[in-house]
Amino acid sequence: MEFLQKLHIDNDNNGVSTGLEWPAANGEKLFSYSPVDGKLIAAARGADKANYEAVVAKAKDAFAKWRLWPAPKRGEIVRQIGEALRHHKEDLGKLVSYEMGKSLQEGYGEVQEMIDICDFAVGLSRQLHGLTMHSERPAHRMYEQYHPLGIVGIISAFNFPVAVWSWNSMLAWICGNVTIWKPSEKTPLCGVACQKIVAEIFAKNNVPEGVSNLVIGGRDVGEWMSNDVNVPLVSATGSTRMGKAVGAAVGARLGKSILELGGNNAIIISKDADLDMSLVGAVFGAVGTAGQRCTSTRRLIIHKDVYNAFTDKLKNAYKQLRIGNPLDELNHVGPLIDKDAVTMYLNAIDKCKAEGGNFIVEGGQMNGDGFESGCYVKPCIAEVKNEYSIVQHETFAPILYVMKYDSIDEAISMQNGVPQGLSSAIMTLNLREAEAFLSHAGSDCGIANVNIGTSGAEIGGAFGGEKETGGGRESGSDAWKAYMRRQTNTINYSTQLPLAQGIKFEF
């Protein structure tokens, strides 16, 4: 395919890079099959432990030089990366869509998100601020400043194979850090493509080799990174199970981690909601990326007075969904990432029925012409109770659970009554309900929206969640502080050495 050629993706790719250098990888070869048509796209050779250690050594050397570049100059490099991504937006968006399976519009949107974070990081490179404080001691000045950490390890998931890497990398780089990226073994070619784009910009600007590093591989690469004292910060996106393992390993060595894990996101549909507008947010949230977003809408908590009217709208909307090749922009829903994901989807349906769930829109696997990959499924809707064990669990697939509520307090309690705490929303024109949802006693999630859905966060705000979602924050606001170490400084410009708290020490 032409977009692969433009991104310099070969049939057999090296999966270890420190920039323009691509040392011979000696690990297991990963084969990337498209969920769109089941065809082999290309292979990528993964790293062994020696490859990983060589990359770490290169990264440490690069950090000693890169941290000395002025932050605005580092920002200029990121600005150029943003321009390169604009140039490659169409081709990279197609690769994301073809390798991962999300719709082409979502593939383009993911690359646009990369461009947006570049723009954000460029401005931020001139605003890495600290604080000044008044000292209790005369002729003393106190202030805080932030310093880069060193190597930032990035473990990304298949569902956003390029955007989440960019959230971390662009901020890490303007802060003066270097990065080592382990992309998902399910989408390795997206990692190769991004590394090649960045390496070209870095080489043009004489950026030290080893600022941007790629290490493709399986679970073992993530374990090496998590246990490596040379990597002070590991940012990991994925399942709660994976995040607990990463967090435990990093915590055992007193390192830092940013964990972006599972979600079980709900929209409350009030009796005072604009139902037509609510329908758009609910359907896109539930079926966008075939339900494979951490912010996908899993649950609809609907007021009893509008329950029948709104579920009728849902059923009618689901009849109009077009399922098929995501490179066809007329289709709404593409495939799941692989056949294992299909099995989990089918198992979840069975479990839901066993617990008493009533499917008002039936699911199932798609077969026949155009569905040869075996990865296409039908978005479905089930009437359930919030306490069902399957409802408490995040299934990464287009299964939407609907349930009734009576009072706003009951709805908020149901919204909060799951182990995860990423994204949440309420659809209402009632000011009191909206404010209650956003209050201290309201949503317990990291993201809480009014009159928009759970899915589709802007890069300007900090992204992340609470509880089993991990508690980390990425992207906008002051998330940059997680990529730096904070230091308090006191300067004495007097001729005396007074001690704090009035302590006397004389001899």
pLDDT tens digits, residue range 176-229?
999 999 999 999 999 999 999 999 999 999 999 999 999 999 999 999 999 999
Helices (H) and strands (E) in the chain, counts: 14, 23
The average pLDDT across 253-268 equals 98
pLDDT tens digits, residue range 33-69?
999 999 999 999 999 999 999 999 999 999 999 999 9
28 in Cβ contact with 221 (< 8 Å): no
Q: CA 438 to CA 385: how far, in whole Å?
A: 24
CATH architecture of 265-450: 3-Layer(aba) Sandwich (3.40)
Residue 387 annotated among the catalytic residues of the structure: no
Strands of 228-321 (E only): list them: 233-237, 256-260, 265-269, 297-303
Tokens of 235: 């940012």
Q: CA 246 to CA 243: how far, in whole Å?
A: 5
399 forms beta bridges with 380
402 in Cβ contact with 357 (< 8 Å): no
pLDDT of residue 457: 84
Query: 65: Cβ–Cβ under 8 A, 6 or more apart, which residues?
Result: 208
Largest CA-CA distance found in the chain, in angstroms, rounded: 91
Q: CA 99 to CA 190: how far, in whole Å?
A: 8
C-alpha closest to that of 99 among 14, 192, 170, 34: 34
3-state SS, residue 354: helix
The type of residue at 275 is L
3-state SS, residue 421: strand
| DSSP code of residue 24 | P
List Cβ<8 Å contacts ≥24 apart for 277-283.
Answer: 277/427, 277/451, 278/310, 278/427, 279/310, 279/313, 279/314, 279/317, 280/453, 281/425, 281/427, 281/452, 281/453, 281/454, 282/314, 282/400, 282/453, 283/314, 283/317, 283/318, 283/321
| Helices marked H in 175-289 | 188-204, 219-226, 240-252, 275-287
Residues of the chain with CATH 3.40.309.10: 265-450
277 in Cβ contact with 427 (< 8 Å): yes
| DSSP code of residue 497 | -
The average pLDDT across 341-357 equals 98
Give pTM, 2 decimals. 0.97
Is 73 a residue whose pLDDT tops 90?
A: yes
**Range 227-249 burial, b when 16+ CB lie within 10 A, else e:** ebebbbbbbbbbbbebbebbbeb
Is 506 a residue whose pLDDT tops 90?
A: no
pLDDT tens digits, residue range 136-154?
999 999 999 999 999 999 9
Tokens of 214: 């790629």
278 in Cβ contact with 269 (< 8 Å): yes
The average pLDDT across 120-129 equals 97
Confidence bin at 507 (pLDDT 50/70/90) = confident
How many CB atoms lie under 10 A from the CB of residue 308?
Answer: 11
The average pLDDT across 349-363 equals 98
The average pLDDT across 90-109 equals 97
The dihedral built from the CA positions of residue 249, 54, 96 and 344, taken in this order, carries a sign that is: negative
The average pLDDT across 280-302 equals 98
Is 1 a residue whose pLDDT tops 90?
A: no
C-alpha closest to that of 313 among 290, 273, 283: 283
Is 159 a residue whose pLDDT tops 90?
A: yes
Residues of the chain with CATH 3.40.605.10: 2-261+470-487
pLDDT of residue 183: 98
Confidence bin at 456 (pLDDT 50/70/90) = confident
3-state SS, residue 319: helix
pLDDT tens digits, residue range 404-435?
999 999 999 999 999 999 999 999 999 999 99
The average pLDDT across 92-99 equals 98
pLDDT of residue 99: 98
Confidence bin at 487 (pLDDT 50/70/90) = very high
Q: Which of 260, 394, 433, 474 is catalytic?
A: 260
How high does pLDDT run on average in the chain? 97
pLDDT of residue 388: 98
pLDDT of residue 286: 98
> 2-261+470-487 sits in which CATH class?
alpha beta
463 in Cβ contact with 475 (< 8 Å): yes
The average pLDDT across 461-489 equals 97
The average pLDDT across 338-348 equals 98
Residue for token digits 């202030």? 143
Question: 503: buried, middle or exposed (CB in 10 Å: 19+, 13-18, 0-12)?
Answer: exposed
> Which strands form 132-134's sheet, in the order they lie side by side?
132-134, 140-148, 484-492
C-alpha closest to that of 313 among 431, 385, 402: 402
Question: 418: buried, middle or exposed (CB in 10 Å: 19+, 13-18, 0-12)?
Answer: buried
